[in-house]
Amino acid sequence: KPQLVASNDRFCRFLEEYCPVVTETYYPTIWCWEGRVQTLLRPFITSRPQVQYRNELIKTADGGQISLDWFDNNDSLYHPDTSTRPTVLLLPGLTGTSKESYILHMIHQSKTLGYRCVVFNNRGIAGEDLLTPRTYCAANTEDLEYVIHHIHSLHPSAPFMAAGVSMGGMLLLNYLGKTGRDTPLMAAAIFSAGWNVFESIASLEKPLNWLLFNYYLTTCLQSSISRHRQMLEKLCDIDLVMKARTIREFDKRFTSVMFGYRTVDDYYEEASPCRKLKSVGIPVLCLNSVDDVFSPAHAIPVETAKQNANIALVLTSCGGHIGFLEGIWPRKCTYMDRVFKQFVQAMFEHGNKIFS
């Protein structure tokens, strides 16, 4: 069974009643139970549900633009009134967009419940142009704050939640730690977040992990930079950035420079959600696997989480990073998908039992 960590008895009882998946035994797919294998195979094994998006480009105060992909769910039987239709904001991972299979599955789960979804694509990675020399990072929450208030202004009467995956989860946690209760969001779900960036980077720099994950992710980051080279070379030495062979080198030469940090360590300190967990002011459910090389078990802030009644951690022994595959042939629903569906439904339909 997963380990459920929560200091708030009311929150615990709420989850046990309305989100029982967090107390059920998770059986990983027997032929790929190891964390790194789960992480590598999930994108290739899981299906990709068809989703028809409506794209919206919104302008930011600094002259940039952000691409939002809306799934309006206008055929919703449970919530036909668009003004009060529950809305879920989805935040993909480091180089992810609305096309990621885990995002498509979350939208598929939301569709069956009658909810609306919006995917927040970080600047410059969903095919849109960069209008200013600025991209994104896990520590800077300005774009996310702008998007949240934009969505809320369009549907002020609609219940509103958010779910973040990997770096998207880190960004969401950093936002919640900064805003406390002063947010339109009623709750949030976090999946496979890296809690302490120093420990995540150290894990990813181990030889096998570097070969399997670190180098590939670095090249993905460089590819997105290369596409906007003409705009970004105003800010830093792109040729030096393209020579990076690790995420740490990339962040040292690009991310920390772009966002004005004195050193890469200063950036990593600010980007680590474990520092802000005590300040989160709304109910948050966080799912991690203890065999996730992106978020080592010893770096998961269990004791800190116990000090905030709004936080519940669900820790599985297997599952890897955004893996959580189950069943003999795990094409469709994963354990992560089931946690997402039950928690979102629980909050939208019974959340008043926590708030009362």
- Indicate whether 35 pLDDT > 80: yes
Query: Given this model, what pLDDT does residue 268 score?
Result: 98
Length of the chain (residues): 356
Measured CA to CA, the distance from residue 80 to residue 114 in angstroms comes to 8
Measured CA to CA, the distance from residue 227 to residue 127 in angstroms comes to 10
Q: What is the DSSP string of 156-201?
A: TTS-EEEEEETHHHHHHHHHHHHHTT-SS-SEEEEES--S-HHHHH
Tokens coding 7: 């200091």
Q: How many helices (H) and strands (E) does the chain have?
A: 16, 9
Tokens coding 2: 């997963």
Query: Given this model, what pLDDT does residue 33 score?
Result: 85
Is residue 249 within 8 Å of residue 261, measured between CB atoms? no
Span 53-57, mean pLDDT?
98
Of 94, 116, 107, 185, the closest CA to residue 145 belongs to: 185
Which residue in this structure is represented by tokens 């809320």? 152
Summarised one tens digit per residue, pLDDT across range 77-131 is 999 999 999 999 999 999 999 999 999 999 999 999 999 999 999 999 999 999 9
- List the catalytic residues: 166, 292, 321
Q: Rounded to 5 degrees, what are φ and ψ at 346?
A: -60, -45
Query: Given this model, what pLDDT does residue 356 score?
Result: 56
Span 173-202, mean pLDDT?
98
Summarised one tens digit per residue, pLDDT across range 251-261 is 999 999 999 99
Which pTM does this prediction carry? Answer: 0.97
Query: Given this model, what pLDDT does residue 234 score?
Result: 85
Domains of the chain, by residue range, sit at: 3-196+272-354, 197-269
Average pLDDT of the chain to the nearest whole number: 96
Query: What amino acid occupies position 238?
Result: I
Of 260, 304, 313, the closest CA to residue 283 belongs to: 313
> Which residues face 65 on adjacent strands?
59
According to CATH, the superfamily of the domain at 3-196+272-354 is Alpha/Beta hydrolase fold, catalytic domain (3.40.50.1820)
Measured CA to CA, the distance from residue 133 to residue 145 in angstroms comes to 20
Of 238, 245, 254, the closest CA to residue 215 belongs to: 245
How many CB atoms lie under 10 A from the CB of residue 336? 27
Summarised one tens digit per residue, pLDDT across range 221-245 is 999 999 999 999 988 999 999 999 9
Query: What amino acid occupies position 60?
Result: T
Q: Rounded to 5 degrees, what are φ and ψ at 303?
A: -65, -40
Summarised one tens digit per residue, pLDDT across range 269-285 is 999 999 999 999 999 99
How many CB atoms lie under 10 A from the CB of residue 26? 21
Measured CA to CA, the distance from residue 89 to residue 206 in angstroms comes to 34
What residues contact residue 111 under an 8 Å CB cut-off, 6+ apart?
A: 71, 73
- Indicate whether 332 pLDDT > 90: no
